Amino acid sequence: MILNFTHPDVRRAVENALAEDIGPGDLTTQTTIPADLQAEARFVAQQPIVVAGSELLSILFDAPTIQKRSGDRALAGEQIAIVRAPARTLLTRERVALNFLQRLSGVATLAAKFVEAVDGTGVRILDTRKTTPGLRILEKMAAAAGGAVNHRIGLYDAILIKNNHIRLAGGVRHAIERAQSANKPIEIEVRTRAEIEDALACGAHRLLLDNMTPSQAASEIEFIGRRAETEISGGVTLENVRAYAEARPDFISSGALTHSAPAVDINCGIYAL
């Protein structure tokens, strides 16, 4: 996924963040900083990171100089961007800019670690819908910047039949047969050999092996034998993702990419010109 400034969710997220923080005005800046003072803000990585969201500075400020774009790596001490603007503007928007940069670069950095952990296996790492409300597009862009593959964006763009759907629909076969009316590839969560057999018999495109151990997943993937794509999910962490990858699925999805990514350390120093 490519960062798209025109996507309404991107601009809405930035505008909401500014409105939340500034409200009717920045009291401290307005009372302490001369209106005509010009300044320069320098955004600098304080640790090794994969950058994500630096392009948002073009929404927050006029004509920033972006030195590291989404997907680029930055070492501690490397500059990500420079912005020259009225000092009041820089001070008022500094925190929102850092919040986005630190959060999104945190997602990208963790995603890159997952991708590196399965290097050489051919397995692709997927993100999930376990995102911060209102920030899904941005967090999925960040995951992609780290090398992950975006799973469905929402409930509207793909079919993924999960355990609760299966239960309420009356079983795997009933759920798949009903979903076929959408004329889209069908992915379904399976937890037992019987469910796998039913899903294969009904022509499911991808089987989501949920909450299995690596050895259990390997056994089921061998049984499936490429009759459908396979995805492992549930309990996947950075510590065990390699073991799951060695079961040879096509994909591994982990909500940790977004719901557990720690913000990275990025500094913003502002200096008078």
State the pTM of this model: 0.95
Per DSSP, 151 falls in state -
Structural domains in the chain?
8-115+261-272 (3.90.1170.20), 118-259 (3.20.20.70)
- Per residue in 204-233, pLDDT tens? 999 999 999 999 999 999 999 999 999 999
Tokens 């670069």 -> residue: 105
Per DSSP, 171 falls in state S
- Catalytic positions are 95, 130, 162, 189, 210
d(CA 16, CA 110): 26
d(CA 9, CA 5): 9
pLDDT at 102 over 90: yes
Tell me which residue of 74, 75, 40, 68 sits closest to 54, measured CA to CA: 68
d(CA 60, CA 41): 13
- The amino acid at residue 54 is S
Mean pLDDT of the chain: 96
- The reported pLDDT for the residue numbered 148 is 98
